[in-house]
Amino acid sequence: MSEVSELSNAERDFLRPYLPTKTVPVAPQPDDGRTTNDHSPNNDGDTGGGSSVGKSGPTKATNLPFVTLTYASSLDSMISLAPGLRTALSGPETKSMTHYLRLQHDAILIGVGTAIPDNPGLNSRYPGASLATQPRPIIVDPQMRWNVYGSKLAQLAIEKQGKGPWLIHTLRSLPRSDNMNEWGGERLLLPADDVNDDHTEKERLKWSTILEALKAKGINSVMIEGGANIISSLLGMPELVDSVVITIAPTWLGVGGVTVSPEAKTSGGERINAAHLQETSWRQFGQDAVLCGRLSAS
């Protein structure tokens, strides 16, 4: 039996307002030559085959994709037991939800701090998913720390159970000769935010630079899954994030875990809340709670 089951209509209705709308590939029709068709995110037609993929629907600046932040948290706002320790927090129902969400986006993005310890698959195992509807896995790895060869991502791409990953590096990363493109992988070299005093490039990339580059490559929606560093940064950037979907598992991981918490904020010298969700909705999925919302601008 599959580890991932279909969501109910009510569960999909609950998620719909927080998801990008998308254009779904359908098999070319011999009679009309069409290659795409519009569906709402929860339309059951979302798993058709075909050769062109486009999940679109951003309502903000046209040079940015729709961005969904999503992660599974404990009651003490932790996402893993310790740095580098892959930790299952989602129950079966929220795991199914994550695979459904993955299928609603053109891409899934994580940081190298997650790619190395977790060795994730980052494909969607939602019933009926096809290679054409799979999201593109994207890893932010500015200094080329991660060896994609031999990874689960590479294996899935070779087996055509997932798309080849795109790895984001800074321009000054050492070029590496490789054959990733044979299984759909690619390295994107982007300019870092600033340079250090010794003129070596800092490893930070602006999030607007990353997102604009993805949009320019045809990514209209991206689901950002983690890890803690990336989620915590983006919680402070409401101008870039369209929606937030958090799985809250009924457990505490304890001191020493990896915490999601945005940078502290001040106004007029006083501490103020660092980030806030508005337009919230809650729903129970099995033993977990799912919180959806949009980040407030201030």
Ligand X SMILES: Nc1nc(O)c(N)c(N[C@@H]2O[C@H](COP(=O)(O)O)[C@@H](O)[C@H]2O)n1
Ligand Y SMILES: NC(=O)C1=CN([C@@H]2O[C@H](COP(=O)(O)OP(=O)(O)OC[C@H]3O[C@@H](n4cnc5c(N)ncnc54)[C@H](O)[C@@H]3O)[C@@H](O)[C@H]2O)C=CC1
Q: Whose Cβ is closer to ligand Y: residue 158's or residue 277's?
A: 277
Binding mask 192-231 for ligand Y (x = CB under 6 A): -----------xxx-x-----------------xxxxxx-
- Does residue number 234 form part of the binding site for ligand Y (CB under 6 A)? no
Out of 57, 135, 226, 238, the only residue in the binding site for ligand X (CB under 6 A) is 226
What, of ligand X, ligand Y, none, does residue 205 touch, CB below 5 to 8 Å by kind? ligand Y
Distance CA 223, CA 242 (A): 10
Contact 225, 113 (CB under 8 A): no
What, of ligand Y, ligand X, none, does residue 121 touch, CB below 5 to 8 Å by kind? ligand X
- HEC profile of 23-86: EEECCCCCCCCCCEEEECCCCHHHHCCCCCCECCCCCCCCCCCEEEEEEEECCCCEEECCCCCC
Out of 21, 47, 80, 173, the only residue in the binding site for ligand Y (CB under 6 A) is 80
Binding mask 93-122 for ligand Y (x = CB under 6 A): -----------------xxxxx--xx----
* Token reading at 260: 């999601």
Q: Whose Cβ is closer to ligand X: residue 71's or residue 192's?
A: 71
Q: Whose Cβ is closer to ligand X: residue 151's or residue 201's?
A: 151
- Does residue number 83 form part of the binding site for ligand Y (CB under 6 A)? yes
* Token reading at 115: 């790619």
For ligand Y, the binding residues in 46-75 under the rule CB under 6 A are: 71-72
For ligand Y, the binding residues in 143-172 under the rule CB under 6 A are: none
End-to-end CA distance of the chain: 46
Strands 107-111 and 221-226: parallel
Distance CA 62, CA 143 (A): 29
- Does residue number 23 form part of the binding site for ligand X (CB under 6 A)? no
- Does residue number 121 form part of the binding site for ligand X (CB under 6 A)? yes
Stretch that binds ligand Y, among 44-52, 78-86, 127-135, 279-287 (CB under 6 A): 78-86
In the complex, the smallest distance separating the C-beta of residue 263 from ligand Y, rounded to whole angstroms, is 13
* Token reading at 11: 């569960």
Q: At residue 116, what are phi and psi to the nearest 5 degrees?
A: -65, -55
Sign of the alpha-carbon torsion through 61, 220, 178, 202: positive
Q: Which residues pair with 170 in a beta bridge?
A: 190
Fill in the DSSP letter of residue 286.
T
Q: At residue 133, what are phi and psi to the nearest 5 degrees?
A: -95, -5
How many Cβ atoms sit within 10 Å of the Cβ of residue 25? 22
100, burial (CB in 10 Å: exposed 0-12, middle 13-18, buried 19+) = buried
- Does residue number 114 form part of the binding site for ligand X (CB under 6 A)? yes
Out of 203, 225, 242, 288, the only residue in the binding site for ligand X (CB under 6 A) is 225
* Token reading at 192: 């870092």
Binding mask 251-290 for ligand Y (x = CB under 6 A): -------x--------------------------------
Q: Which residues bind ligand X (CB under 6 A)?
A: 72, 87-90, 98, 110, 114, 118, 120-122, 225-226, 247
Q: Which residues bind ligand Y (CB under 6 A)?
A: 71-72, 79-80, 83-86, 89, 110-114, 117-118, 140, 142, 203-205, 207, 225-230, 258
